[in-house]
Amino acid sequence: MTINTNQIKLINRVYSALAYRLDNKGNRRYMSELFDMERDYEKRHRAFTGRQNYGKLTMALAARLISAQHVIDGLNTRYTVKDSLHTQDSVIMAQAIAENFPDEITEALDDLSLVEVYEFKALAYHELIESEAA
């Protein structure tokens, strides 16, 4: 399976809803910072994998997907300081965002339909890329 237009729109919609709520908190742009981290991870990942064909799943789109997934997962996941040695910094940051701003995240999700939330949660990175090498 590769990513389709509806999935692209869904990823952008969920990320935008979260960014609208979380990039306007104090003097930090939390979703933008998380996005930048994930984009850097994705860039290194793609350089490491070499010739993998990612199709329409651009680095920016992958970073939006993973950033939003981590923030939403952060509402229910609890990592400890000990876990930080074996967990990506972006995951720890996403949990910190979720712990500090649960109401804003819930409001962002409330802007979406229940079907959209379930469809978004069901998206898996490895299923959105083209499986054959370029």
Give me the chain's average pLDDT, please.
Answer: 90
Task: Round to whole Å and give the CA distance between 117 and 113.
Answer: 6
Nearest to 52 by CA among 62, 67, 38, 37: 62
State the pTM of this model. Answer: 0.89
**% residues pLDDT > 70 (the chain):** 95
pLDDT reported for residue 1: 66
Average pLDDT over residues 22-49: 92
Six-digit token pair at 13? 């919609």
Six-digit token pair at 12? 């952008």
Residue 55 gets the label, from left (phi > 0), alpha (psi -120 to 50) or beta, of left
